[in-house]
Structure 1
Amino acid sequence: MLFLLATQKNIQLTNYKTGLDYAKTQDQNDTLAYYRNQFHIPKDKEGNDWLYFTGNSLGLQPKSTQNYIQQELNDWANLGVEGHFEAKNPWMPYHEFLTESMAKIVGAKPIEVVVMNTLTTNLHLLMVSFYQPTKTKYKIVIESDAFPSDRYAVQTQLDFHGFDANEGLIEWKPREGEELLNIEDLETILDQQGDEIALLLIGGVNYYTGQYLDIKRIAELGHAKNCMVGIDLAHGVGNIQPELHNSGVDFAAWCTYKYLNSGPGSLGGLFVHEKHAHNKDLKRFAGWWSHNKDTRFNMRQPLDVTPGAEGWQLSNPPILSMAAIKASLDMFNEVGMEALRKKSEQLTGYFEFLINELNNDKIKIITPTDPKQRGCQLSIQVKDADKSLHHKLTKANIITDWREPDVIRCAPVPLYNSFEDVFRMVEKLKEIL
């Protein structure tokens, strides 16, 4: 059976088939299948693996993570404070061990990336530098369905600077009767109000629909009106290839506990474009770790901001969290984003095919059909939703997540989800429906 995948830009014929044998064959031919066994897969009471489709909320734990953290616990036990310099992985420069791998994942230069703090903290720190409103150019553009944390962050920034958040916040909305954003509508907003807009803060992958937006085009549109452009990559990092340096965006921030599998509440990361790397006049909230590393321990000197993204650091980092991140990044470095994206597109295409084969008007996929316009998440909209479908899936040990008012988010993650996972999930969905 053939599945015709049609988009505005291209038409692609894909030979997806129904049946468990097809799914098993795809897994046998999958060059990344080995990595599934490198993760702890939660199990039910009978010892069967859960069908885990919530890597978009919390990624599974790599089996190597425990050893990475244990190494630091051992060095702390055996060396005490000397671990900052004498540990196997010295703590003093530990964040530098993560930089190159993280830069590859987001398509950046090492000077543009640092792992620190949490996502919303980083967004606020970045807005201190890149949201510099005037009386006439002060408005901020976000997606109408931005993640709540982004909305609260920009609302409070507007309020902090003395502006009415209701007036200063501009929402880029889908057209009536549609779920997805259209770049032409952002262009219209900027044509009409660009002289009043100081900042665009847009999610690279929308958390609700899974839509992957054209980051480079957003940057071009914003910069044409002298706006700063920032990207929230919470649902994009480790999932898409954002090519941040080439996109030209001014800054970006992300968490690492979703697709980067670093553990609940783990540290985030940020990107500041190289064009800002040596601008010491940028306003910022600074701390000890913002200071030039060569003279940091001279202690009684005025602030000399270290170049690049590291200049936005405040304090020495929590090593145990960074050890978990290192465990994951070492795996990503081994696999490479090209291979992950290829499998991701295959998994979501297969998933989409099977759901469409159900031909059930109670559900609808609202994520873009074009694989290039989505990450590895499919958002299933439920007609007359009351959350009961999600509860029944959970009871069957199929772990998805629900987002109000009517969407079940499912993310077949290429590092640990299989074609058989997708097949069995849709079979159970069919049974429940």
Structure 2
Amino acid sequence: MKQRLTILGATGSIGDSTLDIVARHPERFSVFGLSAHRNIDKLLEQCLRFNPQFAVVGNAGLATQLAAQLKSAGSRTEVAYGEAALIELAHATQCDTVVAAIVGAAGLAPTLAAAYAGKRILLANKEALVMSGGLFMAAVRHHGAQLFPVDSEHNAIYQCLSTRAGVEKITLTASGGPFRTRALDSLAEVTPDQACAHPNWRMGRKISVDSATMMNKGLEVIEAHWLFDMPLQQIEVLIHPQSVIHSMVSYVDGSVLAQLGNPDMRTPIAHALAFPERIAAGVAPLDLAALATLSFERPQPERFPCLTLAIEALRQGGIASAVLNAANEVAVEAFLSGALRFTSIAEVVAEVLERIEPSTVHTLDDIRVADARARRLAAAEIAALTI
């Protein structure tokens, strides 16, 4: 019987890669639902190719436009819009697996809905764990959901955790982004296009900026803490410019298990889709002899202050991670629009974290309130800065 997929965030890089694998294995997978925020041209192409039962977009105007285009093309795909429709799509009984690939806080509610529905969840949305780690993992356990990390680093750790006995530490690797060796005093002049020119990975603009600041790696530290129930002191970050070793697990007997592969998101997606089996993902074989050298270095705090801020937010606990994420989303958006310097991203996040008093999280509403307040403070801070 085919595995029936819903892909939340289908027009992004994770959605593209997932659908590429689906196309390679039509006997194993079918598409039940697709969503996109505003890229309806691409979503239209995907709907016509994969014939989902439902498509969800960001607003009523886009939904009307997409529905008309689909009808004109003879498609029977039904179109809806907004967060409620996303939640309904993630919860639908007709799908087995939800690929959670919406970028940012917008992915939180539908990903939680998939957990409440006991789905097989392929998690590419970091924010579900960054913002609501305790609530999300409790929902997964209580409702019998299956959780498979799709981030290359967390998927690598998942593959290397042959046993939880005797784990000494886990090591998340990072490419270091495009500015790993750039002069520190020139970082303030970085442009959005330069920040989005990742040396190894093909990603969306927001996550590319997060990689350049290494906020992305900080969010992954928080994610790893919740995914693997690992205390902060047992999580390490190393810069590995070649992006071939995706992460490692060290054991007390001196063994270190690493997962290697070419930097292609189809590998972790294929692993999660087919687990416990293995399927072809269309990824080129790894040629170690051609690589010749694999190198590692520790991240410099002065170059990557966002990584330090994320680790501190995890130490604080409670709403701090949600505040960190919200402030960063607002700051990155301002940078991409030309309203903020690259180096001011960390400054804005630090100021917002400083101004919001720590508090515990009991419900999703606690997270929503903290998120909204952090966004207001970040916007005010950005308005006060001049480029």
- Is the pair's TM-score, using the shorter chain for normalization, greater than 0.5? no
- Greater relative CO, 1 or 2 (CA 8 Å, sep 6+): 1
Give the structure with higher Rg (CA).
1
Tell me the TM-score range normalised by the shorter chain: 0.3 to 0.5
Question: Which has the larger helix fraction?
Answer: 2
